[in-house]
Amino acid sequence: MIIELVPCLVMWAGGKAGPIRAADIGVLLFCIWAAISFAVAHGIGFAVKPSGILLIETLGPYLLARCYIRDAKAFVNAIMATAKLIALLFPFFFYEWLTGDKPLLTAFGAVLPTVEPTEAQRSGFWRVQGPFEHSIHFGLFCGSVFALTQMASSKDRSARSRRLLGPVVAAAAFLSMSSAPVAGLAMQGALMSWNRLLRNYAARWKLLGVIVLAAYLIVEFGSNQTPVQFYISRFTFDQQTGWIRLLIWEFGSASVINHPIFGIGFHDWVRPAWMPGSIDNFWLVIAVRHGLPGFALIFGSCLWIVFAVGAKTFTDETLNDYRVAYLICMMSCLLVGATVHFWAAPYSWFLFLLGSGVWLLEVKSGDDVAMTRLNRSHRRGRPKSSPRSAGHRDERRDQENGARPGRSRTAKLGHES
């Protein structure tokens, strides 16, 4: 990411990644504000290194996606490359799930330094870590492409591979035995089912919004917990984890209230001595470290892209599937982020996914119509003929009838004129 950051910045500033969007500015301002908050909390000398790392891990993958995923083909290629990689490595994941041995980390460790292996069991099985720092990271990575794999797969691939690749990706995420990735899978599956069952009902997403609002109000007025507390405490495999997350929310939000502008950086947050120091909430971590302005910039950038892509309408079925798949993916990431912290590789992957769908905002009506015609020709099994190929067929037909090449066609055109 260090190597590609400067070229991508130049491409983005020069307009080669399309128009500069409000979300682009928001992500850039978040990096700047994070550097300021680090300087306020720790001093300028200390802030240089973490600010530079944050810039690379945030702006690097986001601009990489913005600059190089510029059309439907690049979008599908990125998704399928990720899904095929997961499927290729699935036997190693399954072996780790059964035995606890980590063949991937062992192989990588023979060449380069790797992350520390973790050992944790749940329900008699080992939580798969894969090549990541934690099993949650592994589950988040695999689960993030579930809806994308199911809905945005290439139309000319075999039906069998389309049916198998998505479930393999979901199964790999489940092997992490982590509540957050499994909740993300359940959410994506529910939204895809809703989209399919009500595909002929144009207002299906408005109806879903009304249902979600009604559920929110029921929890708000009919429960002794806030909707945020209700969500955090329910999406867990065990009750103890849920209560710990509620306490994290209580004391973490208190830290934000006490330090609302610049946050506390890497300083320890106030909590009971027996509580763990980690904050299992990505959005809360951002607010604790960088204050409410930092949270508003990064979360607002995400919402801007989601609402802008959601407002687009396509007559082409394929483009609409890409749009819905991307929105389901992002909504899953945004909600799962309230129950787990993204750091290291999953954080960069999240920013890459965020930037990978911005190209949908640049699809014009003419491109939409052209893609519809192309899809119809593929479904009929033959590409649409070009004038050049039609002319060659006429010449061959003239030769079969005994005429010299080129004369009959010209004479015919002259007669018609």
**Concatenated DSSP letters of 98-137:** HH---HHHHHHHTTS--PPP---EETTEEPP-TTSSSHHH
Neighbours of 225 (CB within 10 A): 14
Residue 223 sits at the vertex; the CA angle it makes with 217 and 225, to the nearest 5 degrees, is 100
What confidence score (pLDDT) does residue 406 get? 43
What confidence score (pLDDT) does residue 238 get? 63
Residue 302 sits at the vertex; the CA angle it makes with 350 and 211, to the nearest 5 degrees, is 105
Backbone torsions φ then ψ of 125, nearest 5 degrees: -120, 155
Round to whole Å and give the CA distance between 328 and 166: 14
Strand partners, 122: 125
End-to-end C-alpha distance for the chain, whole angstroms? 61
For residue range 116-138, list pLDDT tens digits in order.
888 888 888 999 998 998 899 99
Inter-residue contact 286 to 253 (CB < 8 Å): no
Round to whole Å and give the CA distance between 401 and 8: 59
Backbone torsions φ then ψ of 126, nearest 5 degrees: -85, 135
What is the largest distance, in Å, between two alpha-carbon atoms of the chain? 97
The single residue listed with the structure tokens 């965020």 is 354
Residue 137 sits at the vertex; the CA angle it makes with 31 and 131, to the nearest 5 degrees, is 110
Ranges of the chain with pLDDT below 70: 153-163, 232-239, 365-417
Neighbours of 198 (CB within 10 A): 14
What confidence score (pLDDT) does residue 404 get? 45
SS3 404: coil
What is the DSSP code (8-state) at residue 326?
Answer: H
Q: Which of 258, 264, 268, 272 is nearest to 288 (CA)?
A: 264
Tokens in use for 284? 């809360």
The single residue listed with the structure tokens 């982020």 is 337
Round to whole Å and give the CA distance between 330 and 392: 49
What confidence score (pLDDT) does residue 120 get? 85
Residue-range domain boundaries for the chain:
2-362, 385-416
Round to whole Å and give the CA distance between 103 and 121: 17
Tokens in use for 189? 């599956």
Tokens in use for 197? 């069952």
**Containing H/E element for 411?**
helix 407-416
What confidence score (pLDDT) does residue 162 get? 64
Specify the amino acid at residue 309: V
The single residue listed with the structure tokens 């018609």 is 416
Contacts of residue 158, defined as CB under 8 A and 6 or more positions apart, other chains included, come to none
